[in-house]
Amino acid sequence: MPTPPDLAQLLLLGLDRPGSVPLLRQLYLELRRAILSGVLPPGARLPATRALALQLGVARNTVVAAYDQLLAEGFIEGRTGAGSYVSRDLPEGLEARPRPGPAPPPLPAPIPHMAQPGTAPFNTGRTAWDERTARIWRQLTVRRVQRPDPAMLGYGDPQGARPLREAIAAYLGAARAVRCTPEQVVVTSGAQQAIGLVLRVLLTRGDAAWLEDPAYPAVRAALADAGARIIPVPVDGQGMMVGAGVSAAPRARLAYVTPSSQYPLGVTLSMARRMELLAWARASGAWVIEDDYDSEFRYAGRPLASLQGVDEAGRVIYIGTFSKVLFPGLRLGYAVLPPELLQPVLAARLLADWHPATLQEGVVTDFLAEGHFAPHLRRMRQRYRAARDTLVEALQRECGDALEVEAPDQGMKLVARLAPGLDDVELAAAAAARGVIARAVSPMYLAAPPVPGLMLGFSGHEPGALRWAAKTLGACLATASSRHPPPRSGPSPSRRQPAGRP
């Protein structure tokens, strides 16, 4: 089969001589493209290397090297005394251009109303360090790198390194009254992965699952992804209304709760409700996922004991994270599992990312085992309390009656309720346009009547930034209030459902 006469011209069109890619690589790619597209079909003869080099104005060695690469990869074959040919062993139909297939499924939409990257106030989930913690962290990291554990140079334990699991179990027992052994701890790439693994193991499509209403958007999305039939359970001043959950779905497979600080409202699950929840789980054989995401930062007394610590039947799965107590970029969380769930969760973990990052595991282990963790928490607790007080004072000064603000006893954020007639989704958008992240609360409701409010993070932000952001938010509120004055009398008008609410 003769060589197409226009091959050299096609190759010239594809070569970019002043480009950063070497001519050898460009020529190889252009020849391969000609073969794959059918310009050079199976059996076609390639030009002699000397002739093609002359036509292209390149060194003959460049053409020889490109041919050698194609020969090594099986695209062409050499025949003694007869030149080079496109391999006849290539699959049939390779020269035909494939017809366009069906359009790929659309990518999943971003989870709305989630924490955003960046340093803008009042972005949530941000943490802070002081110089002492930074110095200790540098020292521990350098020590681990200078004297690396040989195990770090290979694959790690999918469950997490034993020393870290021992340190986590000891800390949880002392600080959170969690009853566990290191064998029950699974270290994960953040709390979200821990929750996802548990849902993968426990749920089959169509299973009912209780979810607080309002709810943490990422868990709502994870439940939907797992095919759960989500049962919204309303929240009041004592936390999840367990009786409402029992009435709606008494045989639900699991319940997800944030008992120490309900997300997003911040209320604590009362002891009576805790006992009611555990009694339901025990009687129905259901599981309870306890997400204990920021209980370390309590500003009025000691952190509350965990729900898992009072569970006599072993139905509670405890989820924790280092994202809030150290920093989110660490990507280390953990689950404390009842023994019968350990092996199924580990099997699921092997399908995800095999094992945690061993260097980070080692540094965190040293940070806990050598006694640095508790002093760090004390210092950050003081720092976040001061930031909370700064924010509350600034909001009361700048926002007046348009915003109802109370200092929370726990956590890294506060929820401020809006005056009647104001739309939190519109306000969040207006604040974002001015460089302030104020997350709307109403879209986090599922079935309960949404209460407009703004979630404002104060941890990890400097006092000056908090004051500036409060002033900016006050300006946004003043503009919104002038457009939507509150009603003079009578009940508050029903709130319009925000567009695009999940």
Q: 363: closest CA among 169, 139, 78? A: 139
Residue 474: the pLDDT is 96
Q: Say how far apart CA 131 and CA 55 lie, in whole Å.
A: 66
Lowest mean pLDDT among 21-30, 185-194, 222-231, 317-326: 21-30
CA 409 – CA 290 distance, rounded (Å): 20
306: tokens are 């965990």
Where would I find the H helices in 233-270? 242-248
Q: What is the pLDDT of residue 492?
A: 43
Dmax (CA) for the chain in angstroms is: 100
Assigned architecture for domain 7-86: Orthogonal Bundle (1.10)
According to the model, what pLDDT value does residue 491 have?
Answer: 46
Domain with CATH 3.90.1150.10 in the chain: 378-483
Mean predicted confidence (pLDDT) in 102-113: 51
* Topology given in CATH for the domain delimited by 378-483: Aspartate Aminotransferase, domain 1 (3.90.1150)
The tens digit of pLDDT for each residue in 474-491 reads 999 999 988 766 655 444
Find the range with the poorest average confidence among 356-360, 460-464, 489-493.
489-493
CB distance 451 to 442 below 8 Å:
yes
Residue 107 pLDDT exceeds 50? no
Q: How do residues 414-455 score in pLDDT, each as one tens digit?
A: 999 999 999 999 999 999 999 999 999 999 999 999 999 999
List, in sequence order, every residue forming a beta bridge with 86; answer none if it has no partner.
Answer: 76
* Residue 222 to residue 218: CA distance in whole angstroms: 6
pLDDT on residue 502: 39
Average pLDDT of span 162-171: 96
**How does pLDDT run across 200-219, given as a tens digit for each residue?**
999 999 999 999 999 999 99
- Phi, psi dihedrals of residue 484, rounded to the nearest 5°: -125, 75
Pick 492 or 330 by higher pLDDT: 330
pTM of the model: 0.77
CB atoms within 10 A of CB 452: 20
pLDDT in tens, 243-286: 999 999 999 999 999 999 999 999 999 999 999 999 999 999 99
Query: Bridge-partner residues for 414, per DSSP?
Result: 456
> Where does the chain hold its CATH 3.40.640.10 domain(s)?
131-374
Beta bridge partners of 290: 257, 318
Mean pLDDT of 163-174: 95
pLDDT above 70: percentage of residues in the chain? 86
Strand order in the sheet with 439-440: 403-404, 413-418, 453-457, 439-440
Radius of gyration of the chain from its Cα atoms, rounded to whole angstroms: 30
Q: What is the spatial distance between Cα 276 and Cα 311, in angstroms, rounded to a whole number?
A: 11
- Please give the structure tokens belonging to residue 265: 């409202």
Most confident region among 9-23, 291-305, 346-360 by mean pLDDT: 346-360
Nearby residues of 6 by Cβ (< 8 Å), 6 or more positions away: none
Q: Which fold has domain 131-374?
A: Aspartate Aminotransferase; domain 2 (3.40.640)
Query: Which carries the bigger pLDDT value, residue 113 or residue 450?
Result: 450
User: How many percent of the chain have pLDDT more than 90?
Assistant: 65
In the chain, CATH 1.10.10.10 covers 7-86
Which residue is associated with the tokens 């930074």? 134
pLDDT band of residue 56 (cuts 50, 70, 90) is confident
